[in-house]
Amino acid sequence: MLTPLDEFYLNQQEPVKGTLLALRDFILGFNHDITAEWKYKTPFFYYRGKMFCYLWNHKKFIKPYIGIARSNNIDHPDLLLEKRVKMKILLINPYQDIPIETIREILDQAIANY
């Protein structure tokens, strides 16, 4: 039986589905202390038991994104604040290669906040 977390990924349409699955695998492989959880009907990732980041689809830009928790003091030109108070997002274009180095830089800065 599939969990709601599994269903989230499987119910996506390509190319977003493949992009989200690749992002999930990258984030989980980034650090052994990162775990996947299903919170607020959203795929969240926790670092040492604390909210770290999440994956979602942006309705306005129609692109998947990584939402970074505790990102107030992360300064990266590709992060968007929008109307969020404590989280910035990184939009990912599902029709292009995933910007692995950019994600790595941002996740390194995010881990430094814990």
For 29-58, the pLDDT digits (tens) are 999 999 999 999 999 999 999 999 999 999
**Ramachandran region of residue 19, left (φ > 0), alpha (ψ -120 to 50) or beta?**
alpha
**Mean per-residue pLDDT, 2-17:** 95
**Ramachandran region of residue 23, left (φ > 0), alpha (ψ -120 to 50) or beta?**
alpha
Task: Using the predicted structure, report yes or no on whether residue 25 has a pLDDT greater than 90.
Answer: yes
Fill in the amino acid letter for 91: L
Sign of CA dihedral 73, 56, 53, 99: negative
pLDDT, tens only, 50-102? 999 999 999 999 999 999 998 988 989 999 998 877 899 999 999 999 999 99
Q: pLDDT band at 3, cuts 50/70/90?
A: very high
Residues 76, 88: Cα–Cα separation, whole Å: 10
Residue 73 is predicted with a pLDDT of 86
Instruction: Specify whether domain 4-112 bears CATH 3.90.1150.200.
Output: yes
Q: What is the mean pLDDT of the chain?
A: 95
- Would you state the torsion angle of the CA atoms of residues 51, 69, 64, 4, taken in this order, to the nearest 10 degrees? 20
Q: Give the domain ranges of the chain.
A: 4-112
Residue 83 is predicted with a pLDDT of 83
Please tell me whether the overall predicted TM-score, pTM, comes out greater than 0.95 for this model: no
Task: Using the predicted structure, report yes or no on whether residue 1 has a pLDDT greater than 90.
Answer: no
Residues 55, 26: Cα–Cα separation, whole Å: 12
